[in-house]
């Protein structure tokens, strides 16, 4: 089992600094030492500086003392951003990505660059699952999920084009939040498919994710799709939550379904209205449509590199580029139209037809796959990414192999704050802390 650490939450860090009992430097040094000590086994980081990179700013800033792991497709001006690609070894961006700049302005320290699959697609990096090194941490945001799970940092940045935040968060037993499409600007983030790419957050608890979202969300001139700013909403007394008769990604392991059913029962006992629902026609086909958008847009982004230096690009990416090039323009255009229509149909369905606060669904088929050759199946997350709606996973227990299981909540577009509020309420009823206490690392 991987050596893990006890990292305070963002709220605890802020309280400690505000009380004067500790300093910004203390928390950053703690994270830096943990990152260095764990690297040989965990491999969560693609890059760590030689010395702690403390953001020595005003202690009163909202993220002062908070160390952040940044996925290595997100630009950092003071550290390499190499996309886990041999073609970009040594690449040094001139500017921070928009989301990184916002974090620094809020006082956060960028601790290092976390491992990603190559170009945030399917070719895995060396990161292992902190709960058992024989299993994948998921991907493509592998290092970000592992760094939070191992207690190295309280916050990490990831991206999701299909399931690359939600799935690794579930596999590693942490909170993963993918906001509404456009809520966090992607300026300075390498695109895989701009029609699908989202920037997301990894934290140890829902409250920290909600706190950070307020600081990093917003428009940016470099991202024409960044047009949504989450607004605060009043908390509601009750919750109406939908569950699917069959999971949108396919069959799930018995332990995963049991975990969802147990959580639903606890939420129902505490006042939630749990209803069995059928999704609008066509939602089950969204993973296939997402691949159409991804293939064409990846071909535009990475096709020149594939032509110039195919030996420096993994087989999965070369295949994706080739698939994208073979698709007729009319098919891509139809898929774009379909994406907009389905998003509108889902919005009407969840808000008006069913009047749901959220869907409770599986984030993955169950526990992570054994080995590091695959990062798992994204089909359970891809529909919500395709529709651009917010989604969050919270850890709920363990499967038969002793690996974490999660539960995913999906909300209506632009309902990020409301979804986070519901997730925080649900988090208190998951039994996760008791499950961890019964199975210490």
What is the layout of strands, in order, in the sheet containing 404-410? 45-47, 109-114, 67-71, 155-160, 198-203, 175-178, 391-398, 404-410, 358-361, 240-244, 273-277
Query: How many C-beta neighbours within 10 Å does residue 288 have?
Result: 12
- The alpha carbon dihedral of 261, 264, 270, 275 has a sign of negative
Largest Cα span, the chain: 63
Say if residues 84 and 313 touch (Cβ distance below 8 Å).
Answer: no
Would you please indicate which residues are annotated as catalytic (active-site) residues? 71, 140, 164
Please give the Cα distance from 418 to 424 (Å, whole number).
10
164: tokens are 């690359």
Please give the Cα distance from 34 to 329 (Å, whole number).
49
Angle between helices 206-216 and 416-427 (to 10 degrees): 160
Please give the Cα distance from 12 to 212 (Å, whole number).
14
- CA–CA–CA angle 377, 134, 406 (5° rounding): 45
167: tokens are 């799935």
- The alpha carbon dihedral of 100, 106, 110, 116 has a sign of negative
């Amino acid at each position: 089992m991987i050596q893990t650490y006890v990292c305070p939450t963002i709220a605890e860090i802020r309280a400690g600094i505000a009380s004067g009992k500790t300093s910004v430097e203390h928390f950053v040094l703690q994270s830096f030492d943990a990152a260095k000590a764990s690297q040989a086994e965990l491999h969560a980081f693609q890059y760590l500086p030689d010395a702690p990179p403390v953001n020595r700013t005003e202690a009163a800033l909202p993220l002062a003392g908070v160390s952040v792991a940044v996925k290595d497709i997100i630009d950092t001006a003071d550290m390499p951003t190499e996309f886990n690609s041999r073609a970009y070894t040594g690449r040094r961006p001139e500017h921070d990505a928009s989301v990184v700049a916002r974090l620094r302005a809020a006082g956060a320290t960028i601790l290092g660059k976390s491992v990603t699959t190559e170009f945030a697609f399917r070719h895995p990096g060396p990161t292992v699952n902190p709960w058992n090194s024989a299993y994948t941490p998921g991907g493509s945001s592998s290092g970000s999920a592992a760094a939070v799970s191992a207690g190295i940092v309280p916050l990490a940045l990831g991206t999701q084009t299909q399931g690359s935040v939600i799935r690794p968060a579930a596999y590693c037993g942490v909170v993963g939040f993918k906001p509404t499409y456009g809520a966090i600007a992607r300026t300075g983030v390498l695109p895989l498919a701009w029609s699908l790419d989202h920037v997301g957050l990894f934290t140890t608890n829902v409250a920290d994710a909600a706190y950070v979202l307020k600081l990093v969300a917003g428009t940016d001139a470099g991202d024409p799709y960044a047009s949504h700013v989450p607004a605060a909403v009043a908390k509601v007394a009750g919750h109406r939550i939908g569950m699917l008769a069959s999971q949108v990604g396919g069959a799930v392991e018995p332990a995963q379904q049991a975990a969802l059913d147990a959580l639903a029962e606890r939420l129902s006992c505490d006042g939630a209205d749990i209803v069995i629902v059928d999704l609008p026609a066509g939602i089950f086909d969204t993973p296939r449509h997402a691949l159409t958008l991804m293939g064409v847009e990846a071909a535009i982004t990475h096709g020149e590199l594939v032509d110039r230096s195919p030996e420096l690009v993994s087989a999965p990416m070369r295949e994706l580029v080739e698939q994208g090039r073979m698709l007729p323009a009319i098919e891509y255009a139809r898929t774009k139209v379909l994406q907009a229509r389905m998003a509108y149909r889902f919005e009407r369905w969840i808000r008006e037809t069913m009047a749901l606060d959220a869907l409770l669904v599986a984030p993955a088929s169950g526990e992570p796959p054994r080995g590091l050759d695959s990062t798992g199946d994204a089909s359970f997350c891809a529909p919500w990414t395709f529709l651009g709606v917010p989604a969050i996973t919270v850890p709920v227990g363990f499967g038969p192999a002793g690996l974490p299981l999660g539960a995913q909540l999906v909300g209506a577009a632009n309902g990020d704050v409301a979804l986070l509020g519901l997730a925080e309420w649900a988090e208190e009823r998951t039994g996760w802390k008791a499950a961890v206490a019964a199975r210490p690392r």
